[in-house]
C-alpha cells in the first residue's frame, strides 16, 4: 500500500475502532481498565521517572486511579500538553488534586505551567499490531514526541486486546512501543503474535472483553 492508501485505511480503522470502543458498556470498560492497571503497575515497577500518563478521552482506559496511587507513593508524574498541530508534545507536572485547565481539543491539562521531560511515556492506542506499532488518532503528536526523545523515551502503549490488528501498515515516521499493556497482560516488543483483523464488540466475549 502506498501512503495515500495507508492514510485512507487508517482513517477507516480509526472510525470503526472508536465506534466499537464507545459501544463497550461502561461497567465492562471499567472492569477492563482495572485489570489493565494491574498489569501496568507491574510494567512501571522499574521504569525511570518522571512518568507521563494521559487524561482519558473518547472511552480510553481511565488510568487516573493508578495515577493517584502512584502519586501517593511519591512517584513523579506528568501529563502531555499539545500546543500546536505538527509540533511535539510538552509535559507538565501533575499531582493529585492539582488545578486543571482546558488545553488543545478541550483536554484537561495541569494549570501550573511547570514543565518536565518524562523518562517513561504512556501512549494511549486505538489499535496495535504484531510489531508493537500503535494506531493513534492521526494527529502525530506522540510520534513526533517519541521521535524527538528517541529510544530512551521507553514508550508504553496502552489499549484493549480486542483491537489488535494484523498490521497498521507502519511508515518511516511511526515509532514502535517498547511494550503494549492491555487488560490481558504485558506484551514486550517482538513478543506480540500476529492476530486476526480487529475484533469488534459483536465478536468479543462480554465477560472478559477478549476474542474467542
pLDDT tens column, 82-115:
988 888 999 999 999 999 999 988 999 999 999 9
pLDDT of 76 over the 90 cut: yes
pLDDT of residue 204 exceeding 70: no
Say yes or no to pLDDT of 75 above 50.
yes
What are the φ and ψ backbone dihedral angles of 117, each rounded to 5 degrees? -105, 115
Find where cell 495515577 sits.
Answer: 67
**pLDDT exceeds cutoff 70 at 69:** yes
Condensed to tens digits (0 to 9), the pLDDT of residues 12-36 reads: 999 999 999 999 999 999 999 999 9
Per residue in 170-199, pLDDT tens? 988 888 999 999 999 998 865 555 434 444
pLDDT computed for residue 151 by the predictor: 60
Share of the chain above pLDDT 70, in %: 87
Residue 144 backbone phi and psi in degrees, to 5: -65, -40
What's the CA gap between 124 and 195, in Å, rounded?
20
C-alpha 85/C-alpha 97 separation (Å) is 29
CA distance 88 to 123: 13
pLDDT at residue 208 is higher than 90:
no
Question: What average pLDDT does the segment 49-71 reach?
Answer: 97
Average pLDDT over residues 38-61: 95
Question: 3-state class of 17 per DSSP?
Answer: helix
* Nearest C-alpha neighbor of 29 from the set 212, 208, 211: 208
What domains, with CATH codes, occur in the chain?
3-64+120-200 (3.40.50.10420)
The rounded mean pLDDT for the chain is: 87
What does the pLDDT read at residue 211? 30
Instruction: Count Cβ neighbours within 10 Å for each residue of 139-176 and write b for 16 or more, e otherwise.
Output: ebbbbbbbeebeeebbbbbbbbbbbbbeebbbeeebbb
Instruction: Tally the residues of the chain.
Output: 212
C-alpha cell recorded at residue 132? 508493537
Radius of gyration of the chain (CA): 16
- First and final CA of the chain: distance in angstroms? 30
Mean pLDDT on 152-179: 90
Amino acid at each position: 500500500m502506498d501512503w495515500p492508501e495507508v492514510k485512507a485505511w487508517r482513517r477507516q480503522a480509526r472510525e470503526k475502532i472508536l465506534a466499537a470502543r464507545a459501544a463497550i458498556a461502561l461497567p465492562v470498560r471499567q472492569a477492563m481498565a482495572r485489570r489493565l492497571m494491574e498489569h501496568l503497575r507491574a510494567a512501571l515497577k522499574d521504569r525511570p521517572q518522571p512518568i507521563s500518563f494521559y487524561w482519558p478521552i473518547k472511552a480510553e482506559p481511565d488510568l487516573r486511579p493508578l495515577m493517584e496511587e502512584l502519586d501517593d507513593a511519591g512517584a513523579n508524574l506528568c501529563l502531555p500538553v499539545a500546543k500546536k498541530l505538527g509540533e511535539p508534545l510538552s509535559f507538565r507536572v501533575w499531582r493529585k488534586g492539582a488545578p486543571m485547565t482546558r488545553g488543545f481539543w478541550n483536554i484537561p491539562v495541569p494549570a501550573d505551567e511547570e514543565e518536565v521531560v518524562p523518562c517513561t511515556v504512556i501512549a494511549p492506542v486505538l489499535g496495535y499490531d504484531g510489531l508493537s506499532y500503535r494506531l493513534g488518532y492521526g494527529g502525530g503528536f506522540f510520534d513526533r514526541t517519541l521521535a524527538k526523545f528517541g529510544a530512551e523515551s521507553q514508550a508504553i502503549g496502552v489499549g484493549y486486546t480486542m483491537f489488535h490488528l494484523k498490521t497498521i501498515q507502519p511508515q518511516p515516521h511511526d515509532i514502535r512501543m517498547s511494550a503494549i499493556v492491555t487488560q490481558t497482560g504485558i506484551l514486550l516488543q517482538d513478543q506480540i503474535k500476529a492476530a486476526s483483523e480487529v475484533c469488534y464488540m459483536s465478536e468479543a466475549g462480554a465477560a472478559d472483553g477478549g476474542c474467542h
